């Protein structure tokens, strides 16, 4: 069976990287919906705004919750999707594959201007933050459909698993309803696959300094709390499902073996999601049966089912560099950015992809952050916090980050679309030794109200 599993992993994740195809970009941006009155988001307002949006832009409804409310809609011409991620206070715009970033930027800005004009009628706004600033005010309830009901139930099951893993679970299992990411998918070729995983893994600590934008008062040490919330939840029950790879991946066979050690925690039978205690793929497919539970429209019921190789479809991982079935790497670690700077994440990764081996040389020779005994995994966590380690030389970090940004700009210039201008806000952050979360907290300490930052980060 193990051989069959390895072949299925190869067919799903590796084979697509061997196909000749144009280089496309896929961008997904999640954004908090904020009630500016300081009251919880009324899901009826979000639903009404989405309905106005799909009518105005000619989208076609593609998903409903169990109450018949819209959850997603798609534009047939562009492939763009509007959806609600986990709940009705987290709105996501996903863009059909594009050749250049300005295609996406134009539509993103058009969509956000319309959405915020509609939200403004109710005293609401979309804003560019990685944590909803009203996370402790909103209801934080899942959308009532199979997927999100299952996910919410699964994440809240952590108390009964506390003694099974050597990990401290946090006490915000509702985090999926108030965290927002900026994600980019880029095509990857077979011969570059392990280098992309390894090199961009080394880059993660520097990205934490650039893009941190998720502050939650529950965990005041963090400027980027999103990743911790994922890693110290049931999603991180198996550490191979989240975060970084932890060590250099030496080749394709090792990457396939690594995927075999990732855990599956849900599947579907007869149109219903089943969740269960996470099992590595190797363990899951070696079993004759697995016991889980499903929602029968009234309560959760126990069920025993037989694993099928098609259950590989339900492997859901949240690696910072996540290999997908499309032959792409999805870069998942960045927070939603201020909306006027929303494309910085995609521009940064797209430019550096063009300069992979120059980036590899910079990072493998790095003695700015990598010369003090900490590895990339440890550094990413350290540099996600407000207080940086004392050994960090901020001037040296500024110089190194500028060098990396220059490389990204060169990569974008090579593409010939003028996209390098999208990096301008990042140069400002590096020069000022800041990021959106730090800028907000520094402002609040000076007496600037949080609402000012919500509105500032909402501007397109």
1 has a pLDDT exceeding 80 = no
Residue 199 lies in a domain: yes
Burial category of 374 from C-beta neighbours within 10 Å (exposed 0-12, middle 13-18, buried 19 and up): middle
Residues 6+ apart with CB under 8 A from 274: 150, 266, 267, 268, 292, 293, 294, 303, 305
345 has a pLDDT exceeding 80 = yes
Quote the pLDDT of residue 224.
Answer: 97
69 has a pLDDT exceeding 90 = yes
At 6, the pLDDT band (50, 70, 90 cuts) reads very high
104 has a pLDDT exceeding 80 = yes
Q: With pLDDT > 70 as the criterion, what percentage of the chain qualifies?
A: 100
Q: Is 191 helix (H, G, I), strand (E, B) or coil?
A: helix
Alpha-carbon separation of residue 374 from 241, 250, 371 (angstroms): 22, 20, 8
At 435, the pLDDT band (50, 70, 90 cuts) reads very high
Residue 286 lies in a domain: no
DSSP string, 17-86: GGS-----EEEEEEEEEEETTSSPPPHHHHHHHHHHHHHHHT-EEEEE-TTS-EEEEE-TTT--EEEE-S
Alpha helices by DSSP H, listed for 162-236, are: 193-211, 226-231
Alpha-carbon separation of residue 167 from 1, 175, 231, 235, 269 (angstroms): 31, 17, 9, 12, 31
d(CA 371, CA 322): 27
At 430, the pLDDT band (50, 70, 90 cuts) reads very high
Alpha-carbon separation of residue 310 from 8, 11, 36, 305, 395 (angstroms): 9, 12, 45, 13, 52
Q: Which residues of 189-199 are buried (b: 16+ CB within 10 A; e: fewer)?
A: eeeebbbbbbb
Q: Averaged over 344-360, what is the pLDDT?
A: 98
At 409, the pLDDT band (50, 70, 90 cuts) reads very high
Q: With pLDDT > 90 as the criterion, what percentage of the chain qualifies?
A: 97
Quote the pLDDT of residue 22.
Answer: 86
d(CA 458, CA 34): 10
d(CA 52, CA 258): 45
Quote the pLDDT of residue 252.
Answer: 97
Number of domains forming the structure of the chain = 1
Radius of gyration of the chain (CA): 21
Residue 148 lies in a domain: no
Residue 350 lies in a domain: yes
d(CA 453, CA 442): 11
Contact 208, 233 (CB under 8 A): no
Beta-bridged to residue 272, according to DSSP, are 269
Q: Averaged over 63-86, what is the pLDDT?
A: 97
Residue 105 lies in a domain: yes
Q: Averaged over 189-201, what is the pLDDT?
A: 97
d(CA 44, CA 145): 16
Residue 190 lies in a domain: yes
d(CA 32, CA 263): 29
CATH of the domain at 424: 3.30.590.20
pLDDT digits (tens, 9 = 90+) for 134-147: 999 999 999 999 99
d(CA 455, CA 444): 14
Residue 270 lies in a domain: no
Residue 166 lies in a domain: no
Domain that holds residue 232: 21-139+176-237+318-456
Quote the pLDDT of residue 426.
Answer: 98
Q: Averaged over 400-422, what is the pLDDT?
A: 98
- Dihedral angle over CA of 423, 427, 430, 434, nearest 10: -70
d(CA 424, CA 239): 35
Beta-bridged to residue 31, according to DSSP, are 91
Quote the pLDDT of residue 91.
Answer: 98
* pTM of the shown model: 0.96
Question: What's the full length of the chain, in residues?
Answer: 460
pLDDT digits (tens, 9 = 90+) for 364-396: 999 999 989 999 999 999 999 999 999 999 999
254 has a pLDDT exceeding 80 = yes
The structure tokens listed for 400 are 């190194």
Q: Is 279 helix (H, G, I), strand (E, B) or coil?
A: strand
| Mean pLDDT across the chain | 96
pLDDT digits (tens, 9 = 90+) for 117-172: 999 999 999 999 999 999 999 999 999 999 999 999 999 999 999 999 989 999 99
């Amino acid at each position: 069976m193990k051989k069959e599993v390895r072949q299925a992993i190869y067919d799903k994740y590796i084979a697509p990287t061997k196909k000749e195809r144009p280089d496309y970009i896929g961008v997904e941006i999640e954004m908090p919906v904020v009630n500016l009155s300081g009251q919880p988001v009324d899901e009826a307002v979000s639903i009404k705004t989405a309905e106005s949006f799909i009518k105005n832009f000619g989208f076609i409804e593609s998903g409903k919750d169990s109450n018949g409310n819209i959850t997603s809609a798609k534009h047939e011409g562009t492939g763009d999707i509007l959806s609600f991620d986990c709940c009705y206070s987290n709105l996501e715009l996903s863009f059909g594959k594009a050749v250049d970033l300005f295609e996406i930027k134009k539509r993103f800005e058009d969509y956000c201007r319309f959405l915020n004009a509609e939200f403004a009628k109710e005293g609401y706004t979309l804003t560019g933050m990685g944590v909803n600033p009203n996370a402790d005010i909103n209801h934080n309830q899942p959308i009532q459909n199979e997927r999100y009901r299952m996910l919410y139930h699964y994440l809240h099951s952590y108390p009964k698993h506390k003694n099974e893993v050597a990990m401290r679970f946090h006490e915000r299992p509702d985090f999926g309803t108030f965290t927002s990411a900026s994600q980019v998918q880029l095509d990857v070729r077979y011969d570059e696959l392990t280098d992309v995983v390894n090199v961009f893994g080394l880059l993660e600590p520097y990205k934490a300094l650039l893009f941190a934008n998720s502050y939650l008062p529950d965990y005041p040490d963090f400027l980027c709390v999103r990743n911790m919330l994922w890693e110290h939840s049931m999603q991180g029950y198996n550490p191979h499902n989240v975060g970084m790879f932890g060590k250099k991946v030496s080749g394709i066979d090792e990457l396939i073996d690594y995927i075999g050690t990732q855990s599956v925690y849900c599947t579907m039978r007869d149109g219903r999601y089943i969740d269960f205690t996470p099992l590595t793929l190797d363990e899951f497919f070696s079993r004759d049966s697995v016991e889980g539970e499903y929602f029968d429209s009234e309560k959760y019921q126990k069920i025993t089912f037989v694993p099928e190789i098609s259950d590989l479809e339900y492997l859901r991982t949240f690696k910072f560099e996540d290999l997908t079935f499309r032959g792409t790497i999805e870069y998942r670690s960045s927070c939603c950015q201020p909306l006027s700077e929303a494309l910085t994440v995609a521009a940064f990764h797209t430019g550096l992809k063009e300069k992979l081996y120059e980036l590899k040389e910079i990072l493998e020779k790095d003695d700015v952050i990598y010369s003090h005994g900490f590895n990339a995994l440890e550094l990413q966590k350290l540099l996600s916090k407000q207080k940086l380690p004392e050994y960090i030389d901020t001037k040296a970090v500024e110089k190194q980050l500028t060098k990396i940004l220059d490389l990204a700009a060169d990569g974008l210039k090579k593409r010939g679309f003028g996209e390098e201008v999208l990096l301008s806000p990042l140069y400002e952050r590096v020069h000022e030794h800041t990021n959106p979360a730090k800028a907000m907290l520094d402002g609040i300490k000076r007496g600037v109200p949080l609402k000012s930052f919500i509105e500032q980060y909402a501007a397109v």
